[in-house]
Structure 1
Amino acid sequence: MERHRLYGLATALVAAAATLNGSAYADCGGDMQKLAQDRNTQLQVVNDFAKSFHGKPMDPEAFCLKSAGLIRAEAALIAYMEKNKDWCSFPDEAIGQLKEHHIKNAQFNAKACTVAAQMKKMKEQAAQGGGGPQAQPLPSGPL
């Protein structure tokens, strides 16, 4: 799965940054380790949540909430890598791959949040006695 490849990439980046010598690069290693650990923790939360459904449809509202932490952690990691690209010697390829995965994760999160909002609105309308727009009867005869 792509997330496992990205996890390996982030882990490799942390290991590479942590092994750099010199006081200027010591911060890169420590910062990357913290940011990558936060991202990996959030990814595990999302993966555990998804596994808990055993192939059944997930609750979009809960997924929206659970995946928001991953989106924030990835955004922070990308921002740090871009800001410190030259200072910490982050490869363009690593940043690019992380951005690609982040875009996909953010799009999936946005879809889940949109579906959750639509479901909430439908429940509120049903509770108020309105079911939204009424279906119009189909016309009789040939189309």
Structure 2
Amino acid sequence: MTHIRSHLLAALAVAGFFMSAPAFAQSSACQEGQKILQERQGLIQQINKLTEGGKKKQIDPRSACSIFTKLVANGSAGEKWMTENKDWCQIPDQVVEGFSKDHKQSQTIKGNACQAAAKMAEMEKRAKQQAQQAQQGGMAGKMGGGLTGTLSIPKGAL
């Protein structure tokens, strides 16, 4: 979890830099970058909500996968934007490098979260199938042992 928090802090620092850069407001291209970073900030806030409570709180992999998928898409757009507008918007090389590093870390975390979500879905599917099989087996037992091909005839006076 500490690597997620450091990732979030670095992303917020990048966003803070862009919002205070004087050349940022001079161009519509620079304003586009500001929109990307504001969206990123909102996604990071969602991740913070998932991780509230520290180490003892269990994080739902499906929620984490969903948010990190959006964060990775945002990071791809951010990297592309930075590459295209680095000079025009006066973005320092270290900011671009930090953003790229954070983006790669987001991709790794997304992969782990989505893999855990897929395993969780598979386990739930198996549990549901087993419950259905057990329920069907229970009904067969109540109806005389299921379909065995034999019919028991009552013994006694007819």
Q: Give the Å deviation of 1:36.
A: 1.1
Partner residue of 2:17 out of 12, 17, 21: 12
**What is the percentage of aligned positions where both structures have the same residue?**
25
Say whether the 8 Å CA contact 2:65–2:113 is kept in structure 1. Answer: yes
SS in 2 for 1:79: helix
Verify: 1:35 aligned to 2:40, yes or no: no
Verify: 1:118 aligned to 2:130, yes or no: no
**What's the TM-score, normalizing by structure 2?**
0.69
Structure 2: unaligned runs, 5 residues or longer: 132-158
Q: Give the Å deviation of 1:54.
A: 6.8
Alpha-carbon distance between aligned partners in 1 of 2:124 and 2:17, rounded to the nearest angstrom: 46
Structure 1: unaligned runs, 5 residues or longer: 131-143
**What's the TM-score, normalizing by structure 1?**
0.76
Alpha-carbon distance between aligned partners in 1 of 2:95 and 2:15, rounded to the nearest angstrom: 8
Q: Give the Å deviation of 1:21.
A: 8.4
SS in 1 for 2:91: coil
Q: Give the Å deviation of 1:52.
A: 5.8
Higher-Rg structure is 2
Q: Give the Å deviation of 1:27.
A: 1.9
Q: Give the Å deviation of 1:110.
A: 1.0
Which amino acid counterpart does residue 62 of structure 1 have in structure 2? S
Verify: 1:68 aligned to 2:69, yes or no: yes
| Matched length | 126
Which amino acid counterpart does residue 9 of structure 1 have in structure 2? V
Alpha-carbon distance between aligned partners in 2 of 1:5 and 1:104, rounded to the nearest angstrom: 11
